[in-house]
Structure 1
Amino acid sequence: MTTYSALTTLAGQDAARALSDALERMEPEPFGVGIFEIEDGLGRWEVAAYFHEAPDAIVLEILATAFGAKPFLVSDLPEVDWVAKVQRELHPVDAGRFFVFGSHDADKVPPGRVALQIEATMAFGTGHHSTTLGCLLAFDKLVTAGFRPGRVADIGCGTAVLAMAAAKVLPDALVLASDIDPVAVDVARANVAINGLDARIECLEAAGFDHRRLRAAAPYDLVFANILKGPLIELAPAMASHTQAGARVILSGLLVVQAESVIQAYATSGFRLQDRNDLGEWSALVLERA
């Protein structure tokens, strides 16, 4: 079955949300609508809608004009088995002691490595993106240096690959994983089960630390937050109030050009930069709670 996408960009999150709400009331009704911040420092957002039938071009033109958006780019998308396609194109990832793989590569796990099985899904964080890879390498470096946190939180966990890495090498640690997206939470739980970590990791739906279980388990010794620059900066005060002195936070999801503003925001909340790893255009930061 052929599906159709309609994409546009405009300035401001509020305008993007309003346009997405209007798209959901279209006829034919889209089966999916999403908004995404374009990480170019210009405050632009992308709005995307997906249809089983060709969308009404006139209605799209009216909506774009009404909300100050660029004209919609409409494309037809042929039917593709996306899971099979991703499995063919995603190869195992080496990240220090960690080896991230899909079930189709289970026979390639080298002996002595910490194996993390992640399936092709809708949730972010397979280990192939430089942000997730950077977080795994940063964590591996901390563990190699002797850091042994007892309480760990993975905020914005996606597939839960970072939470699982912590649970595998810290057998006595309490590990919580949370995401604002319920689909990601379902994916995280599935991956946790695949890796035999059901009894070790609790997966929660929450924005930041806004969940009674996350608050009750604080203060944390280690927090992962692989999200985006804006949410990372907004999270800084809560990160300070949910960690204890000497705790480490591993942050990513930010471009190299955005790293300094994130470092400054966390310095204001009582953190100091301990380590930084730039992989291509993406940066991973390790900060210590003073």
Structure 2
Amino acid sequence: MKNECWLLEFKIRFLEEEIFQVFEKLPFYQGCSYSKEKNHLELKLYFSKFISEDIFKISVSKFLNKNYRKLFDSIKIIISNITEIDWLKNNAKLFQPVEYSDFVFYGDHIKNHLKFKKNMIRLNSSDAFGSGSHATTRGCINIFNYLQKFFIVEKFLDIGCGSGILSICAYKYWRPSKVLSVDIEKNSILRSKLNAKNNNLNNLLKFEHTNGNKVFNKSFYSKFDLIVANIISSELLKLAQDIAKYLDNNSYLVLSGILKSQENSIVSKFKNFKLLLVKKQYVENWVTILMIKKDKIH
């Protein structure tokens, strides 16, 4: 029996880049593609289960500002059941090995023996749109590469782990004794576990589902040497104080999923919780921010 696949298609005059990270948080979301036409953009979103137009709009709109929400609410959506079409196979053709920094990311549909002198990371083919090529992921990897030259990580936390790609990269760099990854989407946790298993890390990485109101559903007392949070900026602002309390003194925090226009508000917010700016990494229109926790700021 084939897995379900549903396609949502719509046209919109313009897109805020942050919307793609909003899509990542939708239930049963698998990926998307878009094309630019003369006066609009055409989007195709893929889901593993049926999602109604109303549920889709409500789920997306709660993350949008008032003006963009009004535009989004007016779009007309075409929903199609494409279960009989092997869309995953078609997408897999586009998911060729991605070489970036110290890593090569490749889909599990690739059967040929790949010969690279870098860390090989195998991802499930349904992660074709989360394969290491997005600017926010690349920004995080750049910061990891910078940190690993002088900083030792024993305890690592990944907030909004998605496919688990950053947790896997962190393990490849530091071999921490503890790697914990959390996400509000159960599908993301399942994908992360699968990707960890595909890279022989299933007993070394731990994944937990959370409700998104705090970093953890229950009280958690351990602190971490390095935390990465690659989530939308509104969630970073909401969770800032909770994230900061899980950092030890002189530990580092990597923040991503941030547009250039949002960087000042993010830095300002986290400074309230004894975090100091260390470095900014720009990739396309996105910025990844590195901060350090200082319990005593002179």
Give the TM-score taking structure 2 as reference length. Answer: 0.73
Q: 1:13 — aligned with what? A: none
Distance 2:257 2:279 in 1: 16
Listed as ranges, the gaps of 5+ residues in structure 1 are 10-19, 21-29, 47-67
Q: State the one-letter code of the partner of 1:209.
A: V
| 8 Å contact from structure 1 (residues 99, 114) kept in 2 | yes
| 8 Å contact from structure 2 (residues 130, 163) kept in 1 | yes
Q: 1:266 — aligned with what? A: 270
| 8 Å contact from structure 1 (residues 6, 72) kept in 2 | no
Q: State the one-letter code of the partner of 1:205.
A: H
Distance 1:151 1:115 in 2: 22
Q: CA deviation at 1:171?
A: 2.2
Q: CA deviation at 1:264?
A: 0.9
Q: 2:50 — aligned with what? A: 31
Q: Percent identity?
A: 21
Listed as ranges, the gaps of 5+ residues in structure 2 are 13-25, 27-48
Distance 2:130 2:283 in 1: 16
Q: CA deviation at 1:87?
A: 1.5
Distance 2:217 2:146 in 1: 30
Measured on the aligned residues, the alpha-carbon RMSD in Å equals 3.0
| 8 Å contact from structure 1 (residues 91, 101) kept in 2 | yes
Q: State the one-letter code of the partner of 2:178.
A: L
Q: 2:86 — aligned with what? A: 81
Q: CA deviation at 1:199?
A: 1.3
1:249 equivalenced with 2:249 (yes/no): no
Secondary structure in 1 aligned to 2:282? strand
Q: Quick one: which of 89, 97, 103 aligns to 1:98?
A: 103
Q: CA deviation at 1:249?
A: 1.0
Q: Which moved more, 1:36-45 or 1:100-109?
A: 36-45
Larger radius of gyration between Structure 1 and Structure 2? 1
| 8 Å contact from structure 1 (residues 122, 184) kept in 2 | no
1:240 equivalenced with 2:244 (yes/no): yes
1:132 equivalenced with 2:137 (yes/no): yes
Q: Quick one: which of 150, 163, 177 aligns to 1:173?
A: 177
Q: 1:110 — aligned with what? A: 116
Q: Residues 65-93 of structure 1, C-alpha deviation per residue, up to 9 Å, x if partnerless?
A: xxx97434132547343322321112322
Give the TM-score taking structure 1 as reference length. Answer: 0.75
| 8 Å contact from structure 2 (residues 179, 205) kept in 1 | yes
| 8 Å contact from structure 2 (residues 124, 194) kept in 1 | no
Q: State the one-letter code of the partner of 1:210.
A: F
| 8 Å contact from structure 2 (residues 92, 128) kept in 1 | no
Q: Residues 193-232 of structure 1, C-alpha deviation per residue, up to 9 Å, x if partnerless?
A: 11110111011101342244x814x211101111000001
| 8 Å contact from structure 1 (residues 124, 159) kept in 2 | no
Q: Quick one: which of 70, 74, 78 aligns to 1:71?
A: 74
Q: CA deviation at 1:192?
A: 0.7
Q: Which moved more, 1:148-157 or 1:77-86?
A: 77-86
Q: 1:202 — aligned with what? A: 206
Paired residue total: 246
| 8 Å contact from structure 2 (residues 156, 176) kept in 1 | no
Q: 1:119 — aligned with what? A: 124
| 8 Å contact from structure 1 (residues 222, 247) kept in 2 | yes
Secondary structure in 2 aligned to 1:108? coil
| 8 Å contact from structure 1 (residues 98, 136) kept in 2 | no
Distance 2:271 2:108 in 1: 41
Q: CA deviation at 1:237?
A: 0.4
Q: Which has the higher helix share?
A: 1
Q: State the one-letter code of the partner of 2:160.
A: G
